[in-house]
Amino acid sequence: MTGHVHRDDLGARLGMWLFLVTEMILFGGLFIAYSYMRYRYPAEFHHGGGELNATLGIINTIVLLTSSLTVVLSIVAIQKADKRKAIAFLATTIGLGLVFLVIKGFEWAAKFHHGLYPSAPHLGTLPQGEQVFFGLYFTMTGLHGLHVLVGISVLTVLARMVGTGSIRQDRYIHLENGGLYWHLVDVIWIFLLPLFYLAA
Amino acid sequence: MSGTHASTAPPSYLVDTGTRKGLMAWLTTTDHKRIGVLYLGAMVTFFMVAMGVGFVMRLVQLTTFQKLISAQTYNALFTVHGVIMIFLFVIPGLPAVFGNFFLPILIGAKDVAFPRLNLTSWYFFMAGAILAVLSLFTGGGAPDTGWSFYAPFSLKTGTNVSLAVFAAFVLGFSSMLTGINFITTIHRLRAPGMKWFRMPLFCWAVYSTAWIQLLATPIIAITLVLVILERFFGIGIFDPAKGGDPLLYQHLFWIYSHPAVYIMILPAMGAITEIIPTFAKRTIFGYKAIAFSSIAIAAVGSLVWAHHMFTSGMSNVAQIVFSLLTMIVAVPSAIKVFNWVGTLYKGSIDFQPPLLFTLTFIFLFCIGGLTGVMQGALAVNVHLHDTYFIVGHFHYVMFGGTVMGFFAALLYWFPKMFGKMYSKKAIYASWFPMFVGFNMLYFGMLILGMLGMPRRYYVHLPQYHTLHVVATVGSWFLVLGLLGFFATLLYAIFKGEKAEDNPWGGLTLEWTIPSPPPVENFDEIPTITAGPYVFPQEAQ
């Protein structure tokens, strides 16, 4: 079945947007849980937020926002048929993604060190609302981190495709879709930042 | 099985044309028709398994069999029956089989928008199915929570809930990807002149369904992830000991699982809407009303979830709002029934097996729908909650509705899919025990529930015994009919007479191409100039 070669960039973009909708709703379920729990335990959430390192959160926000810019710049480069620049910008984006994960890793390590992780003996002695707060914190930032990781893998594949020429000036829908995914990861973080780090 | 229309005709999709042959050609296909058939094969197998499990469950209620089956096994049986039927058959059923096979043909396209993604969805489906089966035999044994995995029991039970829940997560992924594919296909690949209101109504139903798949499935996905995280790490969101709330689980679960009921029923309604004009030889009555009622069901159906939780604890205001919305969602369903009957009225009816199953669908669905409205009323709900009435009700809707709709669609499109005709007499003969057994079984359950028999109980009080016997005997007739039905179709695939291109005199695009269809569906993409059901005698 050789099949028909059928190309529909608009369709591909529509499909990607629909996929992003599912991702947003996936996190939406967690946002529902967060809103409800915060309504139930306002004081504990306030206190829990105080335990987080807002400076690192804000640095990470800047890192991710910059990476969203570089991914766009790589699309602009491919539109101008500048393959080298496109790859360089993608590499920058991937690098920034890794920086984000490293910072996140340090944050998590500090929380573990202080016994603030689910099922930790110390956390069990804290008020229930704070236990839920850290349960949500690890779930939501963890799931987001997983998305960053997936995004990095996708961008790596895309960089390779730019290298081999299967993404080029007249055919860059895959790169655009990959960029859209990266922006989504970014947008979700922008919601996570105030909900956790700035809740104090 | 080969397409032998004319020597010049392109080969049928059933003939291997690529470099791969046989099984490998099927497992690597991106042809929407082959993928539809792959789903059909897998799903009928799962259906038979879950039917067998259901059969054994009914035997438990004849108390003599309790020597063979322990209470724990019984819990596992109803969980497995529910999980397989819901996640592996009823939810994906019609969209995955007939949506895949016929949606592109009905809108005049050569394939879906993302053929490779389509195959990926099938693999996700199979992976989920295999994980679900594995969960029965590994870990702490088959899950015993019921298909709804309610917290906090699902967090605490030693049985293999994590794997079963992960299986459902993977299946959800398959469902979402299919939804994305169908929406994009309908938006982008309609043939020239195939305006939105010229689409066959099955496409509208699949379109509405795809939106629910897209918007609701992620919620169950994240909920199931939370159950897994809770079991492995104790994050505490559903665990009252850690400040969590099991009610939150119920809400999140039903935010998906109620709309999922409409994922199940809408495509069946769509198939019914295709069948009725063909056998009434009349254009459908109220095309736009049916199209919009699909959308309305999808929209309102997303806002009624908490009617599963009237006894779980929520404010009176919330109860009344959800009760009202539940009543409202019955309206678009009733519009459809009215339009189907309106189409049959004064039609020149050609009575054939697909129409028999269609009428069965309408009859059983009406009972299912009306008992649903009964439960929407708050006071009645408190009495009926978690009784056999609920079990009877949803089997009328899911089995009497979706599965009968599935059977009707299968009978209607079978000659097109396989190029063979089945024995109509054998179908009629298997319909009879199916119908009688169905009503003995599930109407028996409705009465049992009214009398107070709780669901999921291993034992029952003596006053319920007679009706339990009636229901169990009914299940034997039902299984007999189902076996006859599938045997007839299986026989027809291999030994059936060759089917004509248009055996029923249908007007939609699938009947304009050979049976079975060629690989590319259409030699030339058709140009559409009129609505789908304009029969010649009416056009004058």
- The answer to whether position B37 is within a domain reads yes
Q: Is A171 helix (H, G, I), strand (E, B) or coil?
A: strand
Distance (Å, whole) CA A179 – CA A182: 5
Judging contacts by C-beta atoms under 8 Å, the chain A residues touching residue B189 are: 8, 11
CB–CB of A3 and B30 under 8 A? yes
- Chain A closest-CA separation from residue B341 CA (Å): 36
- The answer to whether position B249 is within a domain reads yes
Distance of CA A151 to the CA centre of its chain: 8
Report cis status (omega within 30 of 0) of the bond before B152.
yes
- The answer to whether position B2 is within a domain reads no
A118: nearest CB among B183, B184, B236: B236
- The answer to whether position B390 is within a domain reads yes
Strand partners for B420: B498
CATH number assigned to the domain comprising residue B44: 1.20.210.10
The C-alpha R_g of chain A, in whole angstroms, comes to 20
Residue B113 per-residue DSSP state: S
pTM: predicted TM-score of the whole model, two decimal places: 0.93
- The answer to whether position B48 is within a domain reads yes
> Domains in chain A, please, with CATH?
9-197 (1.20.120.80)
In one letter, which amino acid is B79?
T
- The answer to whether position B506 is within a domain reads yes
Has residue A93 got a pLDDT over 80?
yes
Distance (Å, whole) CA B19 – CA A52: 59
Count other Cβ atoms within 10 Å, centred on residue A101. Answer: 16
User: Nearest Cα to A110, choosing from A52, A196, A58?
Assistant: A52
CB–CB of A127 and B245 under 8 A? no
* Domain count along chain B: 1
User: Nearest Cα to B151, choosing from B249, B254, B237?
Assistant: B249
B321: domain range? 22-539
Distance (Å, whole) CA B29 – CA A3: 10
Count other Cβ atoms within 10 Å, centred on residue B246. Answer: 17
Q: Does A18 touch chain B (CB under 8 A)?
A: yes
Q: Does B231 touch chain A (CB under 8 A)?
A: no
Per-residue pLDDT tens digits of chain B, which is 540 residues long: 344 444 467 889 998 887 888 899 999 999 999 999 999 999 999 999 999 999 999 999 997 888 889 999 999 999 999 989 999 999 998 999 999 999 999 999 999 999 999 999 999 999 999 999 899 888 888 888 888 899 889 998 888 999 999 999 999 999 999 999 999 999 999 999 999 999 999 999 999 999 999 999 999 999 999 999 999 999 999 999 899 999 999 999 999 999 999 999 999 999 999 999 999 999 999 999 999 999 999 899 999 999 999 988 889 999 999 999 999 999 999 999 999 999 999 899 999 999 999 999 999 999 999 999 999 999 999 999 999 999 999 999 999 999 999 999 999 999 999 999 999 999 999 999 999 999 999 999 999 999 999 999 999 999 999 999 999 999 999 999 999 999 999 999 999 999 999 999 999 999 999 999 999 999 999 999 988 998 876 654
Report cis status (omega within 30 of 0) of the bond before B516.
yes
Strand partners for B498: B420
Q: Is B421 exposed, middle or buried (0-12, 13-18, 19+ CB in 10 A)?
A: middle
| Contact of B39 with B122, CB cutoff 8 Å | yes
Distance (Å, whole) CA B113 – CA B183: 9
In chain A, the residue whose alpha carbon lies closest to the alpha carbon of B226 is: A139
Q: What is the bridge-based pairing of β-strands B420-421 and B497-498?
A: antiparallel
A136: nearest CB among B181, B223, B237: B237
B:99-128 residues touching chain A, CB 8 A cutoff: 110-111, 113-115, 117
Distance (Å, whole) CA B224 – CA B165: 6
Q: Is B496 helix (H, G, I), strand (E, B) or coil?
A: coil
Look at residue B8 in the predicted model and tell me its pLDDT: 62
Distance (Å, whole) CA B476 – CA B445: 15
Encoded tokens for B437: 């057994």
Distance (Å, whole) CA B203 – CA B312: 38
Which residues 6+ apart lie within 8 Å of A73 measured at CB?
A85, A89
- The answer to whether position B228 is within a domain reads yes
- The answer to whether position B3 is within a domain reads no
pLDDT of A142-157, one tens digit each? Answer: 999 999 999 999 999 9
DSSP B343-359: HHTT------HHHHHHH
CB–CB of A138 and B235 under 8 A? yes
Following CA atoms B266, B270, B273, B274 in sequence, which dihedral angle do they give, to the nearest 10 degrees? -160
| Contact of B473 with B440, CB cutoff 8 Å | yes
In chain B, the residue whose alpha carbon lies closest to the alpha carbon of A17 is: B180
